[in-house]
């Protein structure tokens, strides 16, 4: 029964292996991949139903007693994130079935996508610090494979930049994990939480600093975000959406899990530093986005700025801050991935990702314009979409604690986000296409986008549903937050 906790890791891993062996038979490979993604989604739904009822489900491997064996444990926080991960997998694989992305598929594409999903789900479900490092490595190697898979010169360049900074981050993470083990004698979260109270605070803070820097690099926080805009825009659309939705959020989750939960009494001292890092991340990300003209670059910088919001919620801490962080993460993963998918559709129809070279889509494809408006306005935080509630929760937590400057910065960044989204709207949809005739006539390219529409409309519907009935998710997030930091 409790072995099913491992399903979110085992199913994608098995799918990755099966799809790796069937690379020469594309139809069979696609069928296996779709079946694996749906099984993952079903398992995640079942697990979320379990954790919503019982609080947490876990398993210790090899029947080792509590602090010794490697443990998997899903509580409400990780359960919700595993479910969103499975959802991303389904949406992205569905999108791949369309012709929105013209790049030829590689036989290793699907195995690596499922490998990434396994790494992300593993990082969310584990209750062991060293195991967390291993899952980060699984994600890293799969991500590197996916970046370099296309083999274009700019993709190799992107893979090198991604490799350099992220490898440094994992090494730092490994060092921090090893030294935390030396100081406490434990790796299990529960045992670490107890043992850390007996450690000399000065030593513990030095170790937590190394851990935090490594995890913040993984989450693309200021000033360690340079790898993200340098690598993401070179990716094919579905992979880009998967990375944008999931990878950096694992870093943020790990920050929340360690500083906000496992090392809680000591972790609370970090809120001041973390808050300023978050504020700088928000501002730097949104300013970077304002500069660029490539939709993918604009959206990549917005990942950074939104990471700032989630980190701000983590830094504010307490039940309200942590609930806001979970709500914001769920909202952000869905909206961000959707925006990248829609950007892929825009490029497929208009011929380019460069906003200066495209236009006229509001007239040619009004439904796409409407579809784009849902996640774009949700990202800005316009009611009644999910982003409004996410930002409201963060701002409430900020003002409750008297952090008026951080709150004001968050509001300012929202305005600048609106500017970027308006830029995409005006350039890609509103202005006539540069190649249009004098009478404004212009025909978008032909592409079979059926599955892409299904994926993006589905994600937009989830955004709308969260926005119209936020109570369910807010209540769930508050219950999840209530158990954090009480080990």
- Please identify, among the stretches 29-37, 72-80, 160-168, 414-422, the one whose residues bind another protein according to the rule CB under 8 A: 160-168
- Residue 284: CB partners within 8 Å, gap ≥ 6? 222, 223, 225, 304, 305, 308
Site for another protein contains 427 (CB under 8 A): yes
By CB under 8 A, the residues from 200 to 239 that bind another protein are 230-231, 233-234
By CB under 8 A, the residues from 434 to 463 that bind another protein are 434
Selected binder of another protein within 56, 137, 206, 266 (CB under 8 A): 137
Please tell me the distance from the alpha carbon of residue 414 to that of residue 421, in angstroms, as a whole number: 11
Selected binder of another protein within 64, 291, 399, 419 (CB under 8 A): 291
Nearest distance in Å: CB 15, another protein: 21
With respect to another protein, which residue has the nearer C-beta, 434 or 458? 434
Site for another protein contains 430 (CB under 8 A): no
- Residue 387: CB partners within 8 Å, gap ≥ 6? 331, 335, 377, 378, 379, 380, 381, 467
Nearest distance in Å: CB 231, another protein: 7
- Please identify, among the stretches 14-22, 130-138, 401-409, 411-419, the one whose residues bind another protein according to the rule CB under 8 A: 130-138
Site string for another protein, 359-388 (x = CB under 8 A): x-----------------------------
Site for another protein contains 357 (CB under 8 A): yes
With respect to another protein, which residue has the nearer C-beta, 63 or 446? 63
CA 453 to chain CA centroid, Å, is: 21
Site for another protein contains 164 (CB under 8 A): yes
By CB under 8 A, the residues from 24 to 63 that bind another protein are none
- Please identify, among the stretches 29-37, 39-47, 102-110, 352-360, the one whose residues bind another protein according to the rule CB under 8 A: 352-360
Selected binder of another protein within 14, 70, 148, 206 (CB under 8 A): 148
Which residues of this protein are in contact with another protein, per CB under 8 A?
130, 134, 137, 140-141, 144-145, 148, 151, 153-154, 156-161, 163-164, 167-168, 171, 174-175, 178-179, 181-182, 230-231, 233-234, 291-294, 297, 355-357, 359, 427, 431, 434
């Amino acid at each position: 029964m409790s072995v099913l906790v491992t399903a979110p890791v085992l199913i994608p891993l098995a799918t990755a292996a099966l799809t790796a062996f069937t690379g020469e038979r594309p139809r069979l490979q696609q069928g296996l991949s779709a079946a694996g993604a749906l099984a993952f989604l079903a398992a995640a739904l079942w697990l979320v139903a379990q954790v919503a009822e019982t609080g947490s489900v876990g398993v210790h491997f090899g029947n080792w007693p509590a602090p010794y064996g490697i443990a998997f444990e899903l509580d409400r926080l990780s359960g919700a994130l595993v479910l969103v991960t499975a959802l991303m997998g389904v949406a992205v694989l569905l999108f791949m079935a369309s012709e929105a992305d013209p790049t030829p598929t590689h036989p290793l594409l699907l195995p690596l996508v499922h490998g990434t999903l396994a790494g992300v789900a593993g990082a969310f479900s584990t209750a062991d610090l060293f195991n967390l490092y291993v899952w980060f490595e699984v994600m890293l190697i799969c991500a590197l494979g996916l970046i370099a898979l296309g083999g274009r010169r700019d993709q190799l360049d992107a893979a090198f930049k991604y490799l350099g900074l992220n490898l440094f981050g994992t090494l730092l993470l490994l060092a921090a994990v090893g030294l935390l083990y030396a100081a406490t004698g434990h790796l299990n979260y529960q045992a670490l939480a107890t043992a850390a109270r007996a450690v000399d605070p000065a030593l513990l803070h030095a170790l937590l600093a190394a851990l935090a820097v490594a995890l913040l690099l993984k989450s693309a926080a200021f000033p360690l975000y340079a790898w993200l805009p340098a690598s993401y825009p070179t990716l094919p659309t579905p992979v880009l959406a998967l990375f944008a939705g999931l990878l950096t959020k694992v870093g943020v989750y790990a920050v929340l899990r360690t500083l906000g939960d496992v090392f809680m009494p000591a972790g609370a001292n970090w809120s001041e530093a973390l808050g300023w890092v978050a504020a700088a991340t928000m501002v730097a990300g949104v300013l970077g986005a304002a500069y660029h003209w490539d939709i993918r670059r604009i959206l990549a910088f917005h990942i950074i700025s939104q990471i700032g919001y989630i980190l701000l919620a983590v830094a504010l801490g307490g039940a309200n801050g942590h609930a806001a962080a979970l709500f914001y993460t769920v909202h952000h993963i869905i909206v961000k991935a959707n925006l990248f998918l829609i950007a892929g559709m825009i490029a497929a129809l208009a011929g380019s990702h460069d906003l200066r070279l495209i236009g006229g889509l509001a007239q040619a494809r009004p439904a796409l314009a409407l579809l784009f408006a849902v996640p774009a306005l949700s990202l800005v935080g316009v009611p009644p979409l999910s982003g409004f509630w996410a930002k409201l929760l963060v701002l409430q937590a900020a003002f409750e604690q008297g952090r008026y400057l951080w709150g004001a910065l968050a509001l300012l960044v929202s305005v600048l986000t609106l500017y970027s989204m308006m830029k995409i709207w005006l350039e890609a949809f509103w202005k006539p296409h540069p190649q249009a005739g004098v009478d404004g006539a212009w025909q978008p390219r032909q592409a079979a986008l059926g599955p892409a529409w299904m994926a993006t409309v589905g994600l937009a519907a989830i955004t709308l549903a969260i926005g119209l009935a936020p109570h369910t998710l807010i209540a769930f997030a508050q219950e999840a937050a209530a158990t954090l930091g009480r080990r």
